[in-house]
Structure 1
Amino acid sequence: MGYQEVLQAAKQRMERLTKPPSSLGHLEEVAVRLAAIQGRLKPELGPGAVVVAAADHGVVVEGVSAYPQEVTYQMVLNFLRGGAAINQLAQAADCRVYVLDVGVKGELPDHPQLLRRKVRPGTGNLARERAMSLDEAERALLAGQEAARLAITQGATVLAAGDMGIGNTTAAAALTAALLDLPSDAVVGRGTGIGEEGLRRKREAVARALSRLRPGMEPLAVAAEVGGLELLAIAGMYLEGYRQGLPLVLDGFPVSAGALLAYRLEPRLKDYLFAGHRSREPGHRYILEALGLRPLLDLDLALGEGTGAVLAMPLLRASARILHMATFAEAGVSDRT
């Protein structure tokens, strides 16, 4: 049976389980979608994987971030040493962490969790020039696909992306505004905690980037003009995860911007997406609305790294188990009259 057929069969089974109708709320919708993705009425989720895509951004020279650019490199080292939030949360959620260097400035040390696929050491300044060439965008997309294949080959049954890149909420805002035809003011937030002057500069940078776009540009060309290398890699991860039939969990704003690009490249991917949480970044809400997704968590998170997605993985596993419940007939329990 195909996706829609299994979805309908799972909904029918859900109605016969030993519980009042809809008593498990949104988790019931998650459960039947997982069944449809896996093509079986009793879905099972095992280990997860989060691929943290890392890259630098030339736009930081515009004063759009509260942190200096070298923090990208330093935080990648922290990921590899196991000292970051994503490492701790992933350990609690039965999720393996991978790190993908697709554009970090500086050479990183060898590490078994590091996939080296540097396209270039950071993007151009999107406020004043094209972020990357179309060829570089395609290479970043392919790097993400390769990272997803590696994670799946090594046992991942549910896949999430994470992000690391000082300045990347600026790129995410520009990409989101471009793909959803929104003004810069609607999608630009405070990111790492910038003040009013930094927010003004960030809005101006995004507005300048959007002014270079031409009507009718293809999504990949738009991403090359205003996006980030890690955002392209994230899109590639989700495209590959969809092709291999895995549930795909979104994190916050930059990751969701990458997923939005993946959706524009492959609309059928939307059926495989789950929103891990709702970020406090304003642009995130527009992406979730465009994808028709309801967040599993709403905890005022704004860290990134894949943390919100990983926190949602135990909920996905719990949702999958719902369809393993007995029906009224199987349990010999009287149904409603």
Structure 2
Amino acid sequence: MALEKLTFNIQPLSNDLNEALKFEINHKTKPLGSLGQLERIAYQLGRIQQSVQLRLSKPTVVLVGADHGICAQGVSPCPQELTWQQMKNFAKKGGGIGLFANLYKLDMLTIDAGVDYHFSKEDKVEDYKIRNGSRDFSIEPAMTTVECRQAMENGAAIVSKLYNKGCNVIAFGEMGIGNTSPASVLMSQLCNIPLDACVGAGSGLDATGIQHKLKVLNAAISKHGTFEDPFHTLACYGGLEIATICGGILKAAELKMLYINDGFIITSALLVAHAMYPEVLDYTIFSHQSNEGGHKHMISYMKGEPILNLDLRLGEGTGAAMAYPIIQGAVEMMNKMTTFTQANVTDTTKKGITVL
């Protein structure tokens, strides 16, 4: 029996409030368009929330971890036990994402989607494990379609639970040694970009290591081929954390939450989500462009506008966390900055060029 397709009800953004939002932003006491991207962020969030009064509630970073069978082919210079060690660290609010989530007052969850390790209750890593790591996709598909669907359902369930607790803005982070390999293949397949433009150093490969990684991944694609359905592309070449995050992104859009996208691995999950439901981009803000070579091509493919460009390549959701205060600034501008009428200042909106 064929696997029933997982569906989401993602609505395109309404245009009903567009002119009211533009009027409100353009009539703040400033030259027209002078707050640039901040104005576009406020406008997008206003369209998502269908209100000229914006609200960010219980912002949360969901850190999802899993291991990857493709590591058996020597595509990463790092030992695989770093995955579980870092997951424990993150659950204690350690690492880069723990630091920035605490600094910017973001809630944080640590999720095991498929780490090759048994966590105890004391580790405070939430159990959504499908299996102990994906399979080696140079030999066989990384996941069965049943496993891939279950991972996506898990991601959707995690987001629904947060939404029901009052969260309306979400980001994802990831942890999984070797996960730039599935992300690179997903990028190549979904963006129709040659694989050599998608493969980078990951967590520290030298030039010889990058060439070996490219050879392994090319051989995997030659073995399995290309799929018309993005879901089957994800199942064959993806990872358990990537599938979980993909399901979470789609559910966030269905629930009309603001989704803050992070780096290379997370964007591979967004690429799959976008291939399934292009409307997901209406709910997406790109936090940054990372220093991982392929990331700028991913963003360009989806016509995204990153907020930051700081040469980051850490992942973990750190870029999304760093961009959050700027999104807060856009909300404060919309809600609290005086208008020409309120401040009794001469209206200059007939001069200049709007950025909306």
Q: 2:159 aligned with 1:148, yes or no?
A: yes
- Alignment match, 2:43: 32
Deviations 1:213-263 (A, max 9, x none): 445521100111111111111111111111111110011000011011111
The residue that corresponds to 1:128 in the other structure is 139
Distance (Å, rounded) in 2 between the aligned partners of 1:98 and 1:84: 14
TM-score by length of 2: 0.91
Give the Cα–Cα distance (whole angstroms) in 1 for the partners of residues 331 and 231 of structure 2. 34
Counterparts of residues 165-244 of structure 1 (less than 5 Å): 165-214=176-225, 217-244=228-255
Deviation sequence 1:6-29 (CA, Å, 0-9, x none)? 233212221211110111111110
1:4 paired to 2:15: yes
| Aligned residue number for residue 96 of structure 1 | 107
1:147 shift after superposition: 1.5
Partner of residue 7, structure 2: none
Q: CA deviation at 1:127?
A: 2.0
Counterpart in 2 of 1:299?
310
Q: Distance in 2 between matches of 1:127 and 1:204?
A: 10
* 1:11–1:205 distance in 2 versus 1, CA, 3 Å: farther
Residues 215, 65 of structure 1: alpha-carbon distance in 2 compared, 3 angstrom cutoff: closer
Give, in whole Å, the separation in 2 of the partners of 1:56 and 1:214.
23
Query: Which residue, out of 334, 341, 350, partners 1:329?
Result: 341
1:54 paired with 2:70, answer no
Which segments of 5 or more consecutive residues in structure 1 lack a partner in the other structure?
A: none
From the superposition, tell whether residues 320 and 112 of structure 1 become closer, same or farther in structure 2 (CA, over 3 Å). farther
Q: Residue 156 of structure 1 aligns to which amino acid in structure 2?
A: C
1:83 matched residue in structure 2: 94
Deviation at 1:114, TM superposition (A): 2.7
Supply the distance in 2 between the matched residues of 1:105 and 1:41 (Cα, whole angstroms).
47
User: How far did 1:112 drift?
Assistant: 8.4
5+ residue gaps, structure 2, are: 1-12, 351-356
Q: CA deviation at 1:3?
A: 2.5
Give the drift of 1:207: 1.3
Question: For the Cα contact (< 8 Å) 2:189–2:226, is it kept in 1?
Answer: no
Could you say which residue in structure 1 is the equivalent of 2:6? none
Give the deviation of 1:153 after TM superposition: 2.8
* 3-state DSSP of counterpart to 2:220: helix
C-alpha change, 1:256 and 1:111, in structure 2 (3 Å) is farther
Q: Deviations over 1:125-173 (max 9, x none)?
A: 1222211111111011111111212222333231000000000011100
Between the aligned partners of 1:174 and 1:297, the Cα distance in structure 2 is: 25
Give the percent of matched residue pairs that are identical in Structure 1 and Structure 2: 33
TM-score, scaled relative to structure 1: 0.96
Match of 1:247 in 2: 258
SS in 2 for 1:185: helix
Q: How many pairs were matched up?
A: 337
RMSD: 1.7
What's the offset of the Cα at 1:121?
Answer: 0.7
Could you tell which deviates more after superposition, 208-217 or 139-148? 208-217
